[in-house]
Amino acid sequence: MDAHAFLVVLAVVLGVAAVTTVVFQWLRQPVVLGYILAGLIVGPSVPVPLAADRQDVQALSELGVILVMFSLGLEFSLRKLFKLGPTAGLTALLETSLMLWLGFMVGRLLGWSTIDSVFTGAIVAISSTTIIAKAFEERRVQGPVRELVVGVLIVEDLIAILFMATLTAIATGTHLSAGEMAATTGRLALFLVGLMAIGMLLVPRTFRAIARLGRPETTLVASVGFCFAISLLAYEFGYSVALGAFIAGSLIAESGEGRSIAHLVQPLRDMFAAIFFVSVGMLIDPAIIIEHWGTVLAIAALVVGGKVVGVTVGAFLTGNTVRISVQAAMTLAQIGEFSFIIAGLGLALGATGDLIYPVAVAVSAITTLTTPWLIAASGPVAERIDRHLPRRVRTFTALYGSWVEQLRAQPRQQTRAATIRRLVSRLLLDVALLAAILIGTSVGMDRMKSALERGLGVDGGLAHLAIVAVGIALVVPLSAGILRIARQLGLILAETALPGVADGVVDLAAAPRRALVVTLQLAIVLLTGLPLLALTQPFLGGVYGPIALVVLLVVLGFAFWRGAADLYGHVRAGAETILEVLLSQARSDDLPHPGAPLPAGPAPPPPPSLEVLHSVLPGLGTPTPVRLDERSPAVGRSLADLNLSGITGAAVLAIMRGDRGLLVPAPAEVLHAGDVLALAGTQDAVEAATRLLQTAPPALDTTPH
């Protein structure tokens, strides 16, 4: 790109982008939409006397991806990444597996070839880091939702790298083997570990020294230079420049200077991020969208629906509240830059038809348009979902998070940890063997039939039945073993969170433990079954695999429903005990009745303590009492109006009102001054509910703006 061409590109792109973004700001619409419209205007598909070279714009847009990922890394240190690793990693695994399978099935339903359908699954599996980062900035999204989403995005980027390595091998006909796949994964892990280990030793100290110079321009140049150097290093090793940029930001964040450097980088990042979105708009061809509008809408609906379901289930099963899970899911419901790369890879290798790439771009454009509105609607939608959950399920969702919290807080026991590692190793081995048998039987069917016909003179049909019978004989015990290990893992994890008691002693944690075992079993089946289904479906075809998984999930779902019913009975019994303790302490402390005047002074008397019940009522967490004074915004409002469960994830187990009480109160129950509410849930949920009941303003809208 010469100097004149560079100037033309910047003038056209940034000039049109400036006009459209001002208009969209005036209309109070997301500026990302203005950038995409600017790309459509200066692109080759619209007859407007303004044009920019698409390749030059795409080259510049890569800088936007790098700087956005670098900024995310500055805010998301390695300590946070390791902390969120299990939650984000398992959520991303479940969601990408589901999307890979759904994308493949939709491709086959549309009549596309097997390889086209495989690429379609990979395209719809990866969300857009750049689009989400821009939407987060505009709406000022912070807190656990942001951390979970960013963690899932990073894991998705790693999965996308494995997708590209695998698809390249398949498309070129080299048929990537298990050994080559393991080698690819090992090289990636070695690169990441080596880069972070060396970086942690050198980078934080270096940038603390640079910051002490007190020269912002020096700090900016050094930071951006390091960012591009690590991005180039990642590219030379065959990985994403976005991954390298994120690692660079994370390493600098360990110096403690991440916030100040992010402020310095922000103007530069914003300019090149705008160019990235303009490049997306330039790839939109309205003629193709009009011609294949049904296909585009079907895949766009698949992206939104599939990701919302996959992320919600995965995030909840890993211990997040319903609200956080739904908000994260609706945030991730789009595709973006990695989808373009994967679609372009298939086109460049000649593995896919000409339709895949423009459809991917059109779907990305549609889901980019819907992302800001989905993020804005995620809070109200999460509250609405929680309102319509059955009471037993709502109670379970509040307590499940506290059980996972207890599981994480338990001190590691060497013997139990060794048992868990052994079970996980056996589970992974059985899943790998099952996949190898299913794929090997499918791929080698013709060869094995020919060998039987030639060697034993067996008829072709009989040979086919014999091979299938042998395959079933191998698959059934492996499948049974996977289910058995899943139950053993569920039991040992549940007993870690909710320990059992000696024989002859009443086990008060039996009902919560049963519900937790079934839920963990369900999580393990999903985390093994969905990847197995996504991996084997292109080879097996048919509906037998999906039907088997659905039947298994229905059986576990029925067991879950029964467990939730038993848990609800346990909670009512526990709530009765809680109420008795509250009333007993209230009498001894001579607490006032609702009609009596509250004590003078700036603060009401403290509520009774329920700490003594923690060991007596296992499975209910640590019930926390909260007293409502006359200034509380909750007074005069019903529990349904407050929607404590939907907003905070906490459950109200009981209400003490004067000398009487209510057990597991109905949503229509109106709160009064002087009420003492017994709350249960995770520590964060109970703290959020306490703040909402005591100090929150009347408008209890926590949707990010």
Number of H helices, E strands in the chain: 25, 4
What mean pLDDT do residues 408-426 have? 77
Tokens of 600: 């003078």
| Distance (Å, whole) CA 331 – CA 339 | 17
669 pLDDT band, cuts 50/70/90, is: confident
The CATH class for the domain spanning 3-388 reads mainly alpha
Residue 664 pLDDT > 70: yes
The pLDDT of residue 593 is 43
Amino acid letter, residue 105: M
Q: Tell me if 334 sits within 8 A of 367, measured CB to CB.
A: yes
Q: Which helix (H) or strand (E) holds 62?
A: helix 54-75
| Distance (Å, whole) CA 649 – CA 166 | 40
The structure tokens 């609906």 sit at: 301
Distance from first CA to last CA of the chain, Å, rounded?
Answer: 40
Contacts of 529 (CB under 8 A, 6+ apart): 549, 552
Among 649, 644, 620, residue whose Cα is nearest residue 406? 620
Tokens of 17: 């982008």
Phi-psi group of 614: left, alpha or beta (phi > 0 → left; psi -120 to 50 → alpha; rest → beta): alpha
Q: What is the pLDDT of residues 549-590, one digit of tens each?
A: 888 888 888 888 888 888 888 888 888 888 887 777 776 654
3-class secondary-structure state, position 9? helix
| Distance (Å, whole) CA 24 – CA 32 | 9
Tokens of 41: 């205007």
The structure tokens 């039945």 sit at: 465
Q: What is the pLDDT of residues 318-330, one digit of tens each?
A: 888 888 899 999 9
Q: What is the pLDDT of residues 343-383, one digit of tens each?
A: 877 877 777 877 888 888 888 888 888 888 888 888 888 88
Q: Tell me if 176 sits within 8 A of 166, measured CB to CB.
A: yes
3-class secondary-structure state, position 628? coil
Phi-psi group of 431: left, alpha or beta (phi > 0 → left; psi -120 to 50 → alpha; rest → beta): alpha
| Distance (Å, whole) CA 534 – CA 118 | 10
Residue 703 pLDDT > 50: no
Tokens of 449: 């039939």
Pairing mode, strands 624-627 and 660-663 = unpaired
| Residues recorded for the chain | 705
Q: Which residues of 240-269 are buried (b: 16+ CB within 10 A; e: fewer)?
A: bbbbbbbbbbbbbbbbebbeebbebbeebb
Mean pLDDT of the chain: 80
Phi-psi group of 173: left, alpha or beta (phi > 0 → left; psi -120 to 50 → alpha; rest → beta): left
Residue of 538 and 96 predicted with greater confidence: 96
- CA distances (Å), 80 to each of 74, 83, 446, 564, in order? 11, 5, 51, 33
| Distance (Å, whole) CA 474 – CA 497 | 35
102 pLDDT band, cuts 50/70/90, is: very high
Q: Tell me if 330 sits within 8 A of 375, measured CB to CB.
A: yes
Residue 219 pLDDT > 80: yes
The pLDDT of residue 229 is 92
Pairing mode, strands 676-680 and 660-663 = unpaired
| Distance (Å, whole) CA 430 – CA 485 | 10
Query: What letter would DSSP give residue 610?
Result: -
Q: Specify which residues 662 forms β-bridges with.
A: 655
The pLDDT of residue 134 is 75
Neighbour-count burial of 233, counting CB atoms closer than 10 A to its CB (0-12 exposed, 13-18 middle, 19+ buried): middle
- For the chain, the C-alpha Rg in angstroms (whole number) is 28
Highest mean pLDDT among 50-59, 432-441, 579-588, 618-627: 432-441
Q: Where in the chain is the domain with CATH 1.20.1530.20?
A: 3-388
Residue 494 pLDDT > 80: yes
Q: Tell me if 382 sits within 8 A of 321, measured CB to CB.
A: no
The pLDDT of residue 38 is 85
| Distance (Å, whole) CA 255 – CA 208 | 6
| Distance (Å, whole) CA 296 – CA 110 | 11
User: Taking CA 527 as the corner, what is the angle to CA 524 and CA 532, rounded to the nearest 5 degrees?
Assistant: 120
The pLDDT of residue 611 is 60
Percentage above 90 pLDDT, the chain: 9
What mean pLDDT do residues 14-30 have? 82
Residue 504: CA count within 13 A, CB half-sphere: 0
Residue 696 pLDDT > 50: no
Amino acid letter, residue 615: S
Q: Which helix (H) or strand (E) holds 197?
A: helix 178-212
The pLDDT of residue 1 is 58
